[in-house]
Structure 1
Amino acid sequence: MKPLFAASLLLLAANAHAATLTLDIQGLTKKTGHVLIAVHADEASFNDKGKPAAVRTVEVKDAKVTVTIPDLAPGTYAVSLFHDANDNNKLDTNFIGIPKEGYGFSNNVGARGKPKFDEAKFTLAADGTVLTLTVF
Structure 2
Amino acid sequence: MKRLIAAALLLAANAHAATLTLDIQGLTKKTGHVLIAVHADAASFGDKGKPVAVRNVEVKDSTLTVTIPDLAPGVYAVSLFHDANDNHKLDTNFIGIPKEGYGFSNNVGARGRPSFADARFTLAADGTTLTLTVF
Q: TM-score range by the shorter chain?
A: over 0.9
Distance 1:10 1:90 in 2: 40
Q: CA deviation at 1:18?
A: 0.0
* Aligned structure 1 segments of 4 or more residues deviating by more than 6 angstroms: none
Say which SS state the counterpart of residue 38 (structure 2) adopts: strand
- Aligned residue in 2 for 1:82: 81
Distance 2:10 2:50 in 1: 24
Distance 1:22 1:77 in 2: 13
- Aligned residue in 1 for 2:44: 45
Distance 2:43 2:96 in 1: 22
Unaligned stretches of 5+ residues in structure 2: none
Q: CA deviation at 1:97?
A: 0.2
Q: CA deviation at 1:106?
A: 0.1
What whole-Å deviation, never above 9, does each CA across 1:76-118 have from its counterpart, x for those lacking one? 0000000000000000000000000000000000000000000
Equivalent residues in 2 for 1:5-84 (5 A)? 5-84=4-83
What whole-Å deviation, never above 9, does each CA across 1:3-22 have from its counterpart, x for those lacking one? 00000000000000000000
Distance 1:94 1:49 in 2: 24
- Aligned residue in 2 for 1:132: 131
Q: CA deviation at 1:56?
A: 0.2
- Aligned residue in 2 for 1:95: 94
Q: CA deviation at 1:42?
A: 0.3
TM-score (norm. length: structure 2): 1.00
- Give the residue type in structure 2 aligned to 1:20: T
TM-score (norm. length: structure 1): 0.99
Distance 1:73 1:45 in 2: 16
CA RMSD of aligned residues (A): 0.2
Distance 2:27 2:36 in 1: 14
